[in-house]
Amino acid sequence: MEKQCVLVTGGAGYIGSHTAVELIAAGYDVVIADDLSNSDLRAVEGVRRITGVEVPFEQVDCCDREALGRLFRQYRFDSVIHFAASKAVGESVHEPLKYYRNNLTSFLNVVELMRATGRPNIVFSSSCTVYGEADAQPVTERTPRKPATSPYGNTKQMCEDVLRDAVAAYEGLRGIALRYFNPIGAHPSALIGEQPQGMPQNLVPYVTQTAAGIRECLSIFGDDYPTPDGSNIRDYIDVTDLARAHVAAIRRMCGGARRADYEVFNIGTGRGVSVLELVRRFEQVNGVKVNHRIVGRREGDIVAIWADPTLANEVLGWRAERTLDQTLASAWAWQKHLCGME
């Protein structure tokens, strides 16, 4: 039987690079495509070092339909995992047009080319932001989507709708949207991890950079939310666990066991952790101090959200395995690797 090949758009990014590793470990061939606008070629080298495979890499902007079309003609693959997108909630509030142009155009190009070239399977990198400020926790896949609290979240809702409608209209196209929660941590090898360009937009890289002395102080956005300690609550999932969920989704689409051609799954741990709790846990696990201060709330943030991952557990055969302590230790190991502190 011919080995299956998966195109990973945005594969030089944080989640994409970890997913490439897990795909290769599961026996798939992988092609990585990325425009390197918010990623680093060193991530591709890390994937190659971890796997021992000279993974093909193509520098392509998915918004460039002609260039993306050449990629589709060059490689034989039947599945796509689409990560390529701008991803910072706060930035999207201040630069909405950038997010609508990049996230929607890139996704439309991928789906159109899949249809034109007969590539049947796509896994879309969605987000728990589609639930907005949910009425109850944890959220299930049946929890109503609410108006997005940021342009970033709105692009995820819109792309889900595009995929749902395209799958319904075009025979042979199958799609799974993975609504995942807050990925953190790094590969256990410390060869790949989250490496933001400039000021970190996500919590854990800011925590690790502050602990390493790169940043003077961590800003915590609000301590007056209606939560036990006043800080936001999120479902923090290890990035390698998240990467495995994408492998499980590919297997489901290729294995003929689907109940429908379009499916949605929450990918989280099922446990909510506050920002302040996470910072304290990071300090305890790694034996370091993180200077922090409370500042005003950040636009686009919701109070609390965490997942009910039961459907993914039962249907995909996937579940989160790594503990929060393991994940926070891996994040610090990655930061020390970047700083030469080993």
Positions marked catalytic: 152
* Residue 13 backbone phi and psi in degrees, to 5: -85, -175
Q: How would you list the strands of the sheet with 5-9, edge to edge? A: 57-59, 29-34, 5-9, 79-82, 121-127, 174-180, 262-267
Cα–Cα distance for residue pair 178/267, rounded to 1 Å:
6
Mark 46-62 as b/e (b = at least 16 C-beta within 10 Å).
Answer: bbbebbeeebebbebbb
Half-sphere exposure of 160 (CA within 13 A, CB side): 22
Residue 33 pairs in a beta bridge with 9, 58
Residue 226, preceding peptide bond in cis (omega within 30° of 0): no
Which is it for the CA torsion 153, 182, 203, 330, positive or negative?
Answer: negative
